[in-house]
A and B are shown apart, each in its own frame.
Chain A
Amino acid sequence: MKEEILKGLQKSLRDYDSEGCIAWAKKANQEGVDPLQAIDALTEIIQEVGDGFSRGELFLPDLIAAGATMAGAMAELTAALKQKGLERKSLGKVVIGTVFGDIHSIGKDMVSTLLTASGFTVHDLGIDVKAERFIEAIKQDRPDILAMSALLTTTAKEQKVVIEALKKEGLRNQVKVIVGGGAIDQSFATGIGADGYASTAPEAVNLVKSLIGR
C-alpha cells in the first residue's frame, strides 16, 4: 500500500496532475504513511524537473506546472508533519514572495521551485505581499533567507521598505535578504542593503547556497 501511494504521488507530480497529487497526499495521511517519506518521494521528482530545466530539456511551463502541482500536496503533507511534531531535514529555510503592488509570479515561482528541488524548505507567500506579512512570516518561520521579487521599476522600491521594516523590528541580522526580478540589478540590490542579487533562478539557488554556507 505504502509503495503504491508513494508511486502514485510521484506519477501524479510527473504528470502535473494537481488533483491527483493532492488525493494521493490525503491518502498517504489517511493510511499513516510517514509524511517525511512522502515529501522525499515528491522532492525526488521535483529534483528531476529542476535538473531537466537546468539541462535545457524542460522549460518554464514544466517548472511552473511541477511547482504548482507539488504545492497542493505539500500543504497536506506539511499539516500531517506538524501534527506529528516532526520536522523535515532541509538545507535551509527560505521565505519568498513578490512585493506589495506587484502581481508578477513567474520569476518568483521559478526560484521557489528550484530551491525546493535543491532541498530547501520554501515558504512561498505569493504575490502582492505587504512588508507586515514578510515580517510576520520571518518571526514565525525563522528562515535563513528572505527572497523578494519585483518586476516593475515602480515596485522595486518596496524591497527597501521591507528591509527597513526588518531593521525596525530588530530582525535584520537574523536573516539574509536576497532580491531579484526584472527591475533589479546588482547596484540596486547593494543600494537598498540586500545581501545578494541573482539575475536567473539557477543563479538564485547558488546564491542561497553560498549565503548559508551549504
Chain B
Amino acid sequence: MAMKGFIRKFKPLEILSEEQFQAIHKATLDVLQNVGIRIEHKRALKLLESHDCQVDYGNMRAKFPPGLVEESLQKCPSSFRVKARDPQKDLIMGGNTIYFGPAPGKQTVNLDTWEPREATRKEAYDGLTILDALPNVHFLPSYTPYFGFEGLPPVMRIPEICAAKIRNSTKWFFEGYSNDCEIFIIQMAQAMGIDIMCSMLASPPLTFYGEAVECAFRMAEAGMAGRVLPGGICGATAPVTIAGSTVTANAEILAGIVLLQLMRPGMRIEVKDFTYPQNMRTGSPAFGNIGVSLHGVVFSQIWRRYGIPAGMTTAYPSSKIPDFQCGYEKAIIALIAALSGINLQLVQGAIHGELTHHPVQAIIDDDLVGMIGRFLEGVEVSDETIALDLIAQVGPIPGEYLSKEHTRKWWRKEQFIPQVADTLTYPEWMKKGKKSCLGYAKEKMEEILAKHKPTPLTGSQERDLEKILEDARVFYKDKGML
C-alpha cells in the first residue's frame, strides 16, 4: 500500500518540439562540459576528478564530460518508494502519479488584517494537524507549515519543525538543511524508520556551496533519497529567457545528479524546479507569474524524458489575501503543473509567496487540488458509462435519470465534491449569512482541530526524538550558536 495520489490518465501537456528539446539538451551538456560548475567542496571535487571531470581547484570549478552525465542519468531509478511513518502513506514517485503537498510560509497571517506575524508553537502544531487531516495533502515539504515559531533560536528552527512534522503527521516529508542540522534530521528519520530527503540546493548561477554538498554526502552515506533543485531568478541569477534559464537550471541539477550517483550509485533522486521570473520592480521572485508555468512545463517535459521523478516550482501567489488574484494565480499554476505530467507539486496554504501560510487557505486550496485531481483521472468510457441500455430505457420526456441506480452509483465518481466551496442557491446563501468559501474554511478549521487527532508517537519514539533534539541543542551550544 502507498498514498494514492492522483493518476493522470491521458497524455501530458508538452510544449517543446523535438528540435527545441534537443537544442536545450545540447546546450545544457555544453555548459557542463565547457563552462563547468563551481563546487565549493574539496572532497566532491576530488571525487569528480577521479571520474574524468576536469577540475580547477583554484576556482573550485569542475567540467563534466557528457558521457559521465548520461551515465549518471542511467543510474537514477525512474520510480521509487519513500517510507512514511504510516506505511499506507509511503509515496511511490514517478510515472503518471502526481502528489500534492502544502506550500509553506515563513510566517502566519492575522485573519482580520491579513498582516504577517510569527506563528506560535501551538499554531505550528495545529497547522500540521490540519495538513495531516486534509485528504489532498499527500506529503509535507521542508519548513512546513512555518519556517519556525516564536521563541525558537534560528539554528533550532529546522530540527524543531522536523520534529513537529513527525509528531503531528504520519505523512511522508522532506526537509531542508542549514548549519549541519541534517545530522539530526537523519538521526530522527533513522529512529522513526522512515525515509528522509534533504534538498541539495544550487546557488545559481552554476554554483553549489559547500554546505549543500556536505549535506548530500551525509544523505548518501545514510542511504536516504536525494533531491536536487536550482533556485534561479530569471534576469538576476539565471538568464531572463525560459530557454536560457532552463539550460542553467538543468546544468546545475545534472551536476548534482552526477555527484550523488558517484557518492552512492543507484541513489533515489527527485529533481525540483525552483526557478522564478524576477519582479522587475522589487527584485523579489515574481510569485504567481505565468513564467513559472512556462518554465515548469518545459522542465517537466525534459525530466520525464530523462526518466527522473520531478517536481515543479511551487504554486505561490503574489496576492496577500485569499482573493480573486490568489485564486487564479494558484489555479493556473497548479493546473498547468498537473497537466504537464509533473510528479510533485506544492499548493495548499500559501498566502503571499513563501512569506506567509495559513491553514484556512490550505483548506480552501485542498478543494482546488481535489478538482484538479478529478480532472486528471479523465473520463471512463465503457458499456456501463456509455449506458446505451439505460438511455434506451429512459427514452425522451417524461423519462428522467435522477431515480436510476446508475445515477446513484456513478455521480460521486464523475463529480468532485468540494468541502468548503459555496455551492448554495441564492435563497439558501442569503439565509445562511452570505458566507463565502473563506467563512466555511474558518469553520472547517475549527472542526478539524476539534475532531482530528494525529496518530501519536509511542513513548519510546517520543523519547528518541526529544533526545535527538537535546543533542542538537548541545551541539549548537558547543559551537557557540545557541
Contact = CB atoms under 8 A, between A and B. Distances in A.
What secondary structure prevails in chain A residues at the interface with B?
Answer: helix
B281 A60 contact: yes
Contacts of B236: 106
Nearest to B154: A153
Contacts of B154: 153
A204 to B, nearest CB: 13
A59 B283 contact: no
Contact of B280 (A60, A107, A153, A200): A60
Contacts of B393: none
Nearest to B278: A60
A61 B283 contact: no
A60 B281 CA distance: 6
Contacts of A200: 282
A107 B283 contact: yes
Interface string A41-83: 0000000000001001001110000000000000000000000
Contact of B235 (A53, A56, A61, A107): A61
A59 B284 CA distance: 13
A44 B281 CA distance: 22
A110 interface: yes
Interface residues of B, number: 8
Contacts of B281: 53, 56, 59-60
A59 B280 CA distance: 5
B73 to A, nearest CB: 33
Contacts of B278: 60
Interface in A123-166: 153
Contacts of B235: 61
Contacts of A107: 283
Interface in B279-312: 280-283
A169 B61 CA distance: 42
A125 B280 CA distance: 24
Contact of B283 (A56, A60, A153): A60
B97 to A, nearest CB: 37
Contacts of A106: 236, 283
Contacts of B282: 60, 200
B262 to A, nearest CB: 29
A59 B240 CA distance: 14
Nearest to B236: A106
Contacts of A53: 281
A107 B283 CA distance: 8
A110 B283 contact: yes
Interface residues of A, number: 10
Nearest to A200: B282
Nearest to A106: B283
B278 to A, nearest CB: 7
A124 to B, nearest CB: 17
Contacts of A59: 280-281
Interface in B220-262: 235-236
A14 B282 CA distance: 22
Interface string B258-286: 00000000000000000000101111000
Interface string A94-135: 000000000000110010000000000000000000000000
A112 to B, nearest CB: 14
A59 B281 CA distance: 5
A60 to B, nearest CB: 5
A178 to B, nearest CB: 18
A60 B280 CA distance: 5
Contacts of A153: 154
A17 to B, nearest CB: 20
A117 to B, nearest CB: 16
Nearest to B282: A200
A59 B235 CA distance: 12
Contacts of A61: 235, 280
The winner among B235, B236, B278, B283 for most chain A CB atoms within 10 A is: B283
Contacts of B283: 60, 106-107, 110
A92 B235 CA distance: 33
A56 B235 CA distance: 18
The winner among A56, A60, A153 for most chain B CB atoms within 10 A is: A60
A175 to B, nearest CB: 27
Nearest to B279: A60
Nearest to A199: B282
Nearest to A151: B283
B150 to A, nearest CB: 14
Nearest to B235: A61
Nearest to A153: B154
A94 to B, nearest CB: 20
A107 B280 CA distance: 12
A107 B281 CA distance: 11
A107 B236 CA distance: 12
Contacts of A56: 281
A80 B257 CA distance: 55
A106 B281 CA distance: 11
A79 B235 CA distance: 34
Interface of A: 53, 56, 59-61, 106-107, 110, 153, 200
Interface of B: 154, 235-236, 278, 280-283
Given A53-B281, A110-B283, 9 more contacts: A59-B280, A59-B281, A60-B278, A60-B283, A61-B235, A61-B280, A106-B236, A153-B154, A200-B282
Nearest 9 interchain pairs by C-beta: A59-B280, A60-B280, A106-B283, A60-B283, A59-B281, A61-B280, A107-B283, A60-B281, A153-B154
17 contacts: A53-B281, A56-B281, A59-B280, A59-B281, A60-B278, A60-B280, A60-B281, A60-B282, A60-B283, A61-B235, A61-B280, A106-B236, A106-B283, A107-B283, A110-B283, A153-B154, A200-B282
